[in-house]
Structure 1
Amino acid sequence: MRIERIYRYPVKGLTAESLEEVALTEGQTLPHDRRFALVQGDTEFDAASPRFLPKQNFACMMKNAKVVLVRAAFDPHDGTLSLAAAGHVPMVAPTRTAAGRDALGAWLTAFLGEEARYGTAADGSPRAPWFTEAPGHAFTDQVKKGVSIINLASLAAVEQALGRQLDPLRFRANFYISGLAPWAEFGWVGQELLLGGARLSVFKRTVRCPATQVDLATGERDCDVPRLLQEHFGHKDLGVHAAVLEGGRVAVGDALEPV
């Protein structure tokens, strides 16, 4: 079995960034994966004391299909984030300053338009969505930190059943794997894997949500993937989640082997 692609998603809901290699750390996500998020204004989230919240509390594909039209690029060296979308003036701002984060939040809020939700601050004033990070926290869809894996053969089986191709990035996984039978990855739950130079423990199958309905090129919901998975295969799952037990370097072309 072979690693074909590696991706991280620095801003929850926004652009995937392709990697040739990555250094995994015990108990963590990929570096910078889901590091930032646009918090909806009606959500109570304290960056100084972060806790897991369901994805609908943030700008995300499940609730805001149009976010796929934002082209984002994060530079971890200087901490800048670039944002661009048709009809909006592109911007580049630092994520390490309050002013930079405010500018990024304002840009994304303007892009969301009517889908931006407002709340009430402690002083009674309106609270707009805000862009943030919380050191040590990742805005993942799982309470437990880890990485996600897609078996490309399982995706091919879904495409054959549906009679159409699906962009693998609809499923926003970190690692895309070849060389095993369709659905064989479900047998890994509760087992350990060697992925490149790292050791993982697979802890659950990935239940697909309405985010996978979205065409990444148009921002339209064009294919009800969860419903079709249930109809054709009797479940809504595609991929697995794994925790990093031992860190190490992982690169495209490396092997994956069950322990």
Structure 2
Amino acid sequence: MPRVVALYRYPVKGFTPEACEVLDVLAQGRIAGDRVLGIRFANSGVIDDAWSTKHEFIALVNTPGIARLHLRFNHQTLRLGISFEDTVLVDEPLDDNGRKRIAAAIENYVLQLDENPLSFHPDRLPLRVVGNGIMSRYQDNEAGQITLHSRESLAAVAGAVGDADLSELRFRSNIAIEGLEPWEEQSWVKRKIRIGQVIFDVVTPKSRCLATQANPNSGERDLPILKTLLSTFNQKKPTFAIGMVTSGAGGQIHIGDKVCLLD
């Protein structure tokens, strides 16, 4: 029977994950503490903390070099620390001044990268830190979805691109499982599954973007993930992992929980 082998949440949209032993699944189909902040362009035209697409933010899709940053977010004190290698770039609370210093530190780092969305778009500055640090709201889908992939599907992609050590962090899922045939989770779309005691509706296969081509360690675009998904696996859209929402109440899921197909 398939089981959960890794759990992740991403406090700041587009930035590095937190590996977790337990995730709290909210009744509305999101993970507590996941995508509670974002670094948004000044010219996005989006009011306050409202949802917007990834293209309005500093994110891996437009700034692969942010993969080299390490984030530490304290969910209790609402304090965000960002470091590069052994250097702390910023460590601030989410008050007005702290947000400005966080945004300025990210701006300074991004402008030094060869590939960045700011150098030729001064209208995107100054960057803004959005989100209250509590409400999960900046998933790629406005309704919010929890994402899952199997390590067997990951191994299939790894073999196709010739990288046995392909990191699942490229795909930014919340849940990784083992115990399936490659791509078997794709057959769960429109069906229900239970993980531990939480029941999910599997609503969609997850289309992928350029973020998957950014190496999580080097911040370089190094592998043709999108082309490989299309050509090797005969996909109409580059697809990896599935998107889910809760069916009824939320609850906790843990590493080691069984994954059961219900219908």
Give TM-score, length-normalised by structure 1: 0.91
Written as runs of structure 1 = structure 2, the 5 A alignment for 1:58-69 is 58-69=57-68
Please, which of 237, 240, 243 is the counterpart of residue 242 of structure 2? 240
Q: CA deviation at 1:17?
A: 0.3
Do the aligned residues in 1 keep the contact of 2:32 with 2:135 (CA within 8 Å)?
no
Paired with 2:89 and 2:213, the residues of 1 have a C-alpha distance of 27
Do the aligned residues in 1 keep the contact of 2:30 with 2:136 (CA within 8 Å)?
no
> RMSD of the TM alignment (CA)?
1.7
Q: Could you tell me the percent identity over the aligned residues?
A: 24
Q: CA deviation at 1:86?
A: 4.5
Written as runs of structure 1 = structure 2, the 5 A alignment for 1:40-51 is 40-47=41-48, 50-51=50-51
Please, which of 102, 109, 112 is the counterpart of residue 111 of structure 1? 109
Where 1:143 maps in the other structure, the secondary structure is: coil
Where 2:232 maps in the other structure, the secondary structure is: helix
Which residue is 1:251 aligned to?
Answer: 254
Which residue is 1:84 aligned to?
Answer: 83
Which residue is 2:99 aligned to?
Answer: 101
Paired with 2:19 and 2:85, the residues of 1 have a C-alpha distance of 22
Q: CA deviation at 1:143?
A: 2.3
Paired with 1:74 and 1:242, the residues of 2 have a C-alpha distance of 25
Which residue is 2:225 aligned to?
Answer: 225
Equivalent AA in structure 2 for residue 82 of structure 1: G
Do the aligned residues in 2 keep the contact of 1:43 with 1:119 (CA within 8 Å)?
no
Do the aligned residues in 1 keep the contact of 2:34 with 2:136 (CA within 8 Å)?
no
Written as runs of structure 1 = structure 2, the 5 A alignment for 1:79-228 is 79-86=78-85, 89-95=88-94, 97-113=95-111, 115=116, 116=118, 117-119=121-123, 127-133=125-131, 136=135, 138-165=137-164, 166-228=166-228
Equivalent AA in structure 1 for residue 138 of structure 2: F
Query: Mind listing any 5+ residue stretches in structure 2 that lack a counterpart?
Result: none
Greater shift after overlay, 237-246 or 81-90?
Answer: 81-90
Where 1:119 maps in the other structure, the secondary structure is: helix
Where 1:233 maps in the other structure, the secondary structure is: coil
Q: CA deviation at 1:34?
A: 0.8
Q: CA deviation at 1:136?
A: 4.1
Which residue is 2:31 aligned to?
Answer: 30
Equivalent AA in structure 1 for residue 48 of structure 2: A
Do the aligned residues in 2 keep the contact of 1:210 with 1:224 (CA within 8 Å)?
no
Equivalent AA in structure 2 for residue 21 of structure 1: V
Q: CA deviation at 1:241?
A: 0.3
Q: CA deviation at 1:87?
A: 8.8
Equivalent AA in structure 1 for residue 197 of structure 2: G
Do the aligned residues in 2 keep the contact of 1:201 with 1:242 (CA within 8 Å)?
yes
Do the aligned residues in 1 keep the contact of 2:100 with 2:128 (CA within 8 Å)?
yes
Do the aligned residues in 1 keep the contact of 2:145 with 2:245 (CA within 8 Å)?
yes
Greater shift after overlay, 111-120 or 219-228?
Answer: 111-120
Q: CA deviation at 1:163?
A: 2.0
1:137–1:175: structure 2 CA closer, same or farther, 3 Å change rule? Answer: closer
Do the aligned residues in 2 keep the contact of 1:88 with 1:111 (CA within 8 Å)?
no
Equivalent AA in structure 1 for residue 56 of structure 2: N
Where 1:99 maps in the other structure, the secondary structure is: helix
1:137–1:162: structure 2 CA closer, same or farther, 3 Å change rule? Answer: closer
Count of matched residue positions in the alignment of Structure 1 and Structure 2: 250
Q: CA deviation at 1:171?
A: 0.4
